[in-house]
Amino acid sequence: MKGKILIVGGYGAVGSFIAEYLMKMYPHQVIIAGRSFSKAHAKAEQFQNKVIPEQLDVNNFKDLSILNDVELVIMCLDQQNTDFVEHCISKGISYIDISADYQNLQEIEKLHCLAEQNNSTVVLSVGLVPGITNLLAQYVVSQMKNVESIDIFVLLGLGEKHGNHAYQWTFDNVDSNYTLKIHDEEKNVKSFTEPLKTNLSGSRSFYLFNFSDQHVLLNTLDVPKVQTRMAFDVEWFTGLTAFLRKLRITKLFRNKKVQDFAIQSFKNFPMGTDVFGVKVIGKNKNGNSKVVSVTGNNEGRITASVAAEIAILILNENLPKGVFHSHQLVKDIPTFLNKLKNYDSGFQINIQ
């Protein structure tokens, strides 16, 4: 490895997992940074000082000397603009972003030519959703001809511990309306509507949700219809959310005071488990279908393991330069997914 790995948000829930994984392979070559140096320093001490603590605010920076000896940046925070990404690319630094926000990903996609010119590989859609959902959809398409539709089902555990921003993003999107290009026509979609029932850790109903993977896959795969649905592991809570959405009460979830109260309630009175699951069903014009799925526990840990494996891929393979989503770069998807078992033996893969 020519330079160091910088993990922005490296002392957070997901970032610290990534740091823990990569420091074993690259001791004293991983920098963990964020707005609080004291938190970075405390995390470094927890890791027996095998990582390097630094202070960095990507939304308000003046000095970027931290990038001088960096080969790869892994971004675990949402950003207000693409200024920091552009600085990384202009220095020829490769970049991984685990953001789930489609608007943010769209802005980074526009930097493809800049990344090509500066010999930088930028990888988006890294994690569970987007990420593993993209990989499973790509795999289905590779195994079938004339795929007509892809349905993605995402199961999330209410007992999973998230940062405040992740909770806020979920609350905002429970009440969102969004647009999908289905069969070349713009379709207006309401989140938490149009349920479909399938078996994923038990039979349950899944509801449309504005995850970025469906938008990206519609643009990158030759499939006319892709939709992503979500359910929580606590079935009554999923049903209640859908009922409140029907009554238009979920708009209250956008209120910051309501969000703060709900987030505190989740933290003080946890329910459910940290289970997660993804199921992808592809159907073709002949009526044939292909079903693949994964299940496990601790979404944060699996997101980190995907990021770590993508990082190893960038550092050790001669990947193309530009901006790509994970499913556009991972060639052997079953092998890649099986490598994730090295991080968590409980990770289950069902690919026939």
Return the CATH architecture of domain 128-298.
Answer: 2-Layer Sandwich (3.30)
pLDDT at 163: 67
For residues 333-337, give the mean pLDDT.
97
Q: Which of 49-58, 177-186, 208-217 has the lowest mean pLDDT?
A: 177-186
Whether pLDDT at 89 is above 90: yes
Per-residue pLDDT tens for 226-249? 999 999 999 999 999 999 999 888
User: 188, 177 in Cβ contact below 8 A?
Assistant: yes
Using a CB cutoff of 8 Å and minimum separation of 24, what contacts does 249-252 make? 250/174, 250/175, 250/192, 251/175
At residue 219, what are phi and psi to the nearest 5 degrees? -90, -20
Whether pLDDT at 128 is above 80: yes
Q: 4-125+301-330 has which fold? A: Rossmann fold (3.40.50)
With cut-offs at 50, 70 and 90, classify the pLDDT of residue 332: very high
Is the entire prediction scored with pTM above 0.75? yes
pLDDT at 92: 97
For residues 149-159, give the mean pLDDT.
94
| Angle of helix 13-25 versus helix 299-316 axis, rounded to 10 | 40
The rounded percent of the chain whose pLDDT value lies above 70 is 99
Cross-strand partners of 198: 204
Domain ranges of the chain: 4-125+301-330, 128-298
Rounded Cα distance between 33 and 55, Å, is: 5
